């Protein structure tokens, strides 16, 4: 990925230089630093109030994010709206001899810096606020930044770029993603009917075995529970299924047919994105 690597590096350097020339960048920087310092203290009050300062509490927080994160990404990829290409990318990359699969990976790789920063903060907050052992946070950091990205890159390539999938298949992926969300809702409803609405039932739902056996998202949650709460029969099974799914989706991504058919949708989304950015700069919320 020599040419793409060069483009990625130059894009970061140029955007950094442009940002440093704008006074508003420093204003935003102050606000971000303020939130990084203040929010953890506010969050700590809630953690202490609910008695969640433990590895189990950390697993619960990550589980809550997992409920919507993976299904939402799959829906956006299946609709070919999950990757952001700017017009400069469209004009430079799409006509180039670079393979379409690499162009797909380029869009995903651009998010890694943000993910790196977020996962660093998660690791630090996990150790400081939830009192999670450092070795557990190191394992989670590796999993989140490496393993999870490999799985999501494969999932993105297959659902977004595979020409073996027609429009009917893509709609099926969207329906399947909503079905995953519905599965969690149904498990929550059953838990509520059995135990009522209280903190014990909520935590029982979040840490429950049924949640960890829901395909893909539940398997991710099983890995999180294995890392932070130790092995159980269910989270080990879920982790194995997650590993097998990761291998399968990577193999599928390598073997899939992808000649650039997705370019048309990507160009349309890039145009819409540029219009959105221009409207925001002009103060138009429409």
SS3 label, residue 67: helix
At residue 9, the pLDDT reads 73
* DSSP codes joined into one string, 143-167: IIIIIHHHHHHHHHIIIII-TT--H
Mean pLDDT value across the chain: 83
- Hey, CA dihedral for 273, 279, 282, 286, is it positive or negative? negative
At residue 283, the pLDDT reads 61
Query: Nearest 5 degrees, angle CA 90-CA 92-CA 95?
Result: 80
SS3 label, residue 214: coil
Cα(231)–Cα(195) distance, integer angstroms: 25
At residue 99, the pLDDT reads 85
- Hey, CA dihedral for 92, 96, 100, 102, is it positive or negative? negative
Cα(191)–Cα(35) distance, integer angstroms: 35
Residue whose token pair is 């989706």: 249
Q: Which residues of 81-117 are buried (b: 16+ CB within 10 A; e: fewer)?
A: bbbebeeebbeebbeeebebbebbbbbbbbeeeeeee
Ramachandran angles phi, psi of 72, nearest 5°: -65, -40
At residue 1, the pLDDT reads 54
Instruction: Give me 183's structure tokens.
Output: 């599965």
At residue 162, the pLDDT reads 82
Q: Is residue 147 within 8 Å of residue 74, measured between CB atoms?
A: no
Q: Indicate the Cα dihedral angle 228, 150, 113, 96, nearest 10°.
A: -170
Instruction: Give me 78's structure tokens.
Output: 């299946």
Which helix (H) or strand (E) segment holds residue 265: the answer is helix 263-281
At residue 164, the pLDDT reads 82
CA distances, 254 to each of 3, 5, 102, 111, 279 (Å):
20, 20, 11, 21, 39
pLDDT along the chain (286 residues), means of 10: 68 73 76 72 72 85 87 81 73 80 83 85 87 93 93 88 82 88 91 84 89 93 95 95 95 87 80 72 58
At residue 3, the pLDDT reads 66
* DSSP codes joined into one string, 27-78: HHHHHHHHHHHHHHHHHHHHHHHTT--SHHHHHHHHHHHHHHHHHHHHHHHH
């Amino acid at each position: 990925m020599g040419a793409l690597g060069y483009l990625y590096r130059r894009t970061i350097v140029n955007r950094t230089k442009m940002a440093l020339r704008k006074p508003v960048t420093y204003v935003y920087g102050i606000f971000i630093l303020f939130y990084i310092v203040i929010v953890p203290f506010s969050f700590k009050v809630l953690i202490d109030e609910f008695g969640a300062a433990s590895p189990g509490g950390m697993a619960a927080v990550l589980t809550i994010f997992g409920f919507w994160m993976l299904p939402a990404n799959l829906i956006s990829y299946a609709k070919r709206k999950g990757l952001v290409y700017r017009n400069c990318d469209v004009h430079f990359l799409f006509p180039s001899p670079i393979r379409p699969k690499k162009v797909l990976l380029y869009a995903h790789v651009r998010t890694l810096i943000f993910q790196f920063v977020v996962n660093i903060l998660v690791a630090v907050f996990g150790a400081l606020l939830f009192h999670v052992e450092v070795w557990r946070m190191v394992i989670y950091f590796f999993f989140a930044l490496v393993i999870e990205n490999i799985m999501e890159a494969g999932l993105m390539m297959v659902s977004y770029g595979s020409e073996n999938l027609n429009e009917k298949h893509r709609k099926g992926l969207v329906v399947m993603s909503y079905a995953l969300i519905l599965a969690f809702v149904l498990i929550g409803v059953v838990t509520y009917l059995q135990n009522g609405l209280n903190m014990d039932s909520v935590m029982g739902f979040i840490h429950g075995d049924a949640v960890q056996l829901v395909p893909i998202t539940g398997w991710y949650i099983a890995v999180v529970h294995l890392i932070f709460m130790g092995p159980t029969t269910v989270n080990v099974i879920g982790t194995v299924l997650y590993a097998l799914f990761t291998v399968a989706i990577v193999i599928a991504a390598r073997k899939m047919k992808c000649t650039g058919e997705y370019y048309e949708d990507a160009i349309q989304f890039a145009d819409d994105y540029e219009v959105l950015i221009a409207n925001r700069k002009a103060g138009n919320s429409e």
